Structure 1
């Protein structure tokens, strides 16, 4: 089973390369619309907000919508795990290389190119003058770094996030895809596919419950609540919360979620109420 993430700089041919890798390996390509459509189909609140954002601002505001609230971030992580759990996928952008980084067998690719070449490519692709292309590239670079740092507290330029970093200054998209396919074929220590699917399924369940808890109790109340899932539908709740009543509410939300068979509540109550 292959799970590949592709992170790219604008103008680096990253999307084309990811598509070609999927085609060459017979994998499903999951780009902007794939995750977007899945999110729209599974969460009513998100769907309504997403429709409003698209109507007023256009699809480019997709990321802002997801990360305006921690509950949306948890939902995004759940969707990423679910997409990956289907197996044999190439996932592009959206911080998937960070969400899936620590999982064995996930191959994370970073696609880069020099600013000069990226500006030239954007000029040709969009038919815009040099100054506009430079602004376009610099704006996207800055927004990408800010988004990843804000949401995941990670630096997307950290080389340790990637199994392979490829510079397309001297590669066509086709040749770069060939290099990636070859590198994936040389991977060792491939995990058991069934075990990886089960792990991803548990992680997705945990993040869906975490998203629901943060939405119902608000992030101010449940921002330090962490949910993990174990085989057989066992949910473990850890972290801190201020009120005993909220501790019980978190447990109730988790216990009522479909597929949950047992809840282990290890939440610590910090009760900082001051009495005079």
Structure 2
């Protein structure tokens, strides 16, 4: 069956539905706790996850690049889980990580702001004013993460297959609708081609993470493409040494059989005001 991704606004009750959906489909829910459980296998601590999870990265300083590398590594957890199949990827821009895959069912939960505030305040036993502030911050942070990292608008309905307003339907009706959609034959027919595409996405993400972690590339102003184990690097670097290092690092990544070097050296010095 389909891989399911869930995008949600805080206070919609999406998490409870994701758990119920996983139970009905016998899927594994890849959420915050599950990512934290798997993180040590990828060299990520709980502190690192807290720092990068659904927060926009920057690429200016060495520390920024390390944060971006950690984010890429966290995304590898999602991708590796997706490769095993029968999963629900909860948040973290998973719908964009799996872009181009036709066996992915992309779901979003929304609700009016005031209703979300009321639901969240009641669930967490907190003051409504605090709930209002937390939800505003959550919307801003998650929307900013998607915009910065994927250059997408998370509110665009065309990015999803199913969008549910949780104030209008019962939880059981929404869950049953998603279960039915996940069993659609069109999604199943796309599984074979999706596996090969996912392998390419995973390899590309591994190369990206290694380049960021290396500390030898000042800025990733280039594109990484992957096809059947072959990596193509195109765009520009600042020095010949960076070009050589980028090719060398990419070639050492497990699964890479060939690196095509289309990088151009463009001398650049930051303007000092």
Aligned length: 262
Q: TM-score, normalised by structure 1?
A: 0.85
Contact 1:77–1:204, Cα closer than 8 Å, also in 2: no
Give me the whole-angstrom Cα distance separating, in 2, the residues matched to 1:110 and 1:209.
30
Q: TM-score, normalised by structure 2?
A: 0.85
Instruction: Please state whether the residue corresponding to 2:186 is helix, strand or coil.
Output: coil
CA deviation string 1:131-183 (max 9, x = no partner): 22222222222222222222222221111110010011032322211121123
2:117 to 91, 116, 119: 119
| Match status 1:29 vs 2:29 | yes
Instruction: Please state whether the residue corresponding to 1:101 is helix, strand or coil.
Output: coil
Matches within 5 A, 1:78-227: 78-186=76-184, 188=186, 190-217=188-215, 221-227=218-224
2:259 to 237, 242, 263: 263
Instruction: Please state whether the residue corresponding to 2:173 is helix, strand or coil.
Output: helix
> Match for residue 61 of structure 2?
none
Give me the whole-angstrom Cα distance separating, in 1, the residues matched to 2:174 and 2:27.
17
CA deviation string 1:37-88 (max 9, x = no partner): 3333213xx43xx43x68xxxx486444977533234334433322211111
Give me the whole-angstrom Cα distance separating, in 2, the residues matched to 1:189 and 1:126.
37
Give the direction of change, closer, same or farther, for the CA distance of 1:38–1:238 in structure 2 (3 Å limit): farther
More deviation, 77-86/149-158: 77-86
Instruction: Please state whether the residue corresponding to 1:255 is helix, strand or coil.
Output: helix
Give the direction of change, closer, same or farther, for the CA distance of 1:94–1:272 in structure 2 (3 Å limit): closer
Contact 2:103–2:191, Cα closer than 8 Å, also in 1: no
Give me the whole-angstrom Cα distance separating, in 2, the residues matched to 1:246 and 1:35.
33
Instruction: Please state whether the residue corresponding to 1:7 is helix, strand or coil.
Output: strand
Runs of 5+ consecutive residues of structure 1 not aligned to the other structure: none
2:239 to 212, 235, 243: 243
Contact 1:82–1:201, Cα closer than 8 Å, also in 2: no
Contact 1:247–1:269, Cα closer than 8 Å, also in 2: yes
Contact 2:42–2:73, Cα closer than 8 Å, also in 1: no
Give the direction of change, closer, same or farther, for the CA distance of 1:60–1:265 in structure 2 (3 Å limit): closer
Runs of 5+ consecutive residues of structure 2 not aligned to the other structure: 59-63
Instruction: Please state whether the residue corresponding to 1:169 is helix, strand or coil.
Output: coil
> Match for residue 2 of structure 1?
2
How far 1:192 moved relative to its partner? 4.1
Give the direction of change, closer, same or farther, for the CA distance of 1:101–1:192 in structure 2 (3 Å limit): closer
